[in-house]
């Protein structure tokens, strides 16, 4: 965690949870495949329902037609900065699996894929990289770009790369280029019973 990180935990935790954040300023250099593989290796060891490992990743490196095709499917607000990511990863999860010839829905696959993505993000941080998840994309465009399988969904597109504090950003995005805060535990944890106020 750099000296500029304003995050303060209310209970003692490992610093990696505070130092990981999602910048938009990247250096524009394609990532070496080995660096991407290290991040994916961390995701590999994530827990999953029945060890089903239902996450699927398509990796595209900056400078390739595949990268361009995925980038083109991003929302405008993401395209303006994500073109400088070293790689765009399309994080998918299986919606069903074949068990003894029968197709069964995989109810926990998004939860499992979420765990894998978090491992990837923390590993990226440890490598001096950053991972920024994006839900802002057109599913049909990105799905067509990667040839999405029939029994899978795209959970998000991940911009992975080396952060660059000098990267050109609009004034509005520059303003947000710092770790943000979180709700207090008291807002979302209860002992024994659900006593959350209605939303
Ligand atoms: C599933 C998901 C979708 C997101 N979609 C976008 C997005 O489309 N564009 C964007 O700039 N950030 C996106 N984010 C980043 C979140 O805004 C960010 O993770 C959140 O504000 C917490 O900040 P931090 O990751 O820096 O700690 C997304 C994050 C997740 C997990």
Question: Residue 2: its pLDDT value, please?
Answer: 44
How far is Cα 110 from Cα 54, in angstroms, rounded to an integer? Answer: 8
Question: Residue 3: its pLDDT value, please?
Answer: 44
Residue at 180 is within a domain: no
Question: Residue 1: its pLDDT value, please?
Answer: 42
Domain containing residue 64? 24-167
The tens digit of pLDDT for each residue in 57-70 reads 999 999 999 999 99
Expressed in angstroms and rounded, the spacing between residue 106 Cα and the centre of ligand 1 is 25
Whether the pTM exceeds 0.75: the reply is yes
The tens digit of pLDDT for each residue in 109-118 reads 999 999 999 9
Q: From atom 30 of ligand 1, which residue's Cα is the shortest distance away?
A: 133
Expressed in angstroms and rounded, the spacing between residue 133 Cα and the centre of ligand 1 is 5
Question: Residue 198: its pLDDT value, please?
Answer: 76
Domain containing residue 128: CATH number: 3.40.109.10
Residue at 87 is within a domain: yes
The tens digit of pLDDT for each residue in 100-152 reads 999 999 999 999 999 999 999 999 999 999 999 999 999 999 999 999 999 99
The pair of structure tokens assigned to 2 is: 């750099």
Number of domains, the chain? 1
Residue at 188 is within a domain: no
């Amino acid at each position: 965690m750099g000296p500029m990180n304003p995050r303060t935990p209310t209970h003692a935790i490992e610093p990696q949870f505070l130092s990981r954040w999602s910048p938009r300023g990247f250096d524009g250099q394609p990532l070496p495949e080995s660096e991407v593989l290290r991040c994916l290796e961390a995701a590999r060891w994530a827990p999953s329902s029945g060890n089903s490992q239902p996450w699927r990743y398509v990796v595209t490196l900056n400078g390739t037609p595949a990268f361009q095709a995925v980038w083109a499917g991003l929302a405008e607000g993401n395209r303006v900065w994500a073109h400088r990511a070293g790689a765009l990863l399309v994080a998918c999860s299986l919606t069903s699996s074949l068990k003894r010839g029968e197709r069964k829905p995989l109810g926990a696959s998004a939860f499992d894929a979420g765990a894998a993505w978090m491992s990837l993000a923390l590993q990226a941080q440890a490598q001096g990289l950053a991972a920024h998840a994006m839900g802002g994309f057109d599913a049909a465009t990105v799905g067509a770009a990667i040839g999405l399988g029939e029994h899978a969904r795209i959970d998000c597109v991940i911009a992975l790369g080396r952060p660059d504090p000098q990267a050109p950003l609009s004034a509005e995005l520059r303003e947000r280029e710092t770790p943000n805060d979180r709700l207090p535990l008291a807002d979302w944890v209860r002992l024994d019973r659900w006593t959350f106020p209605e939303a």
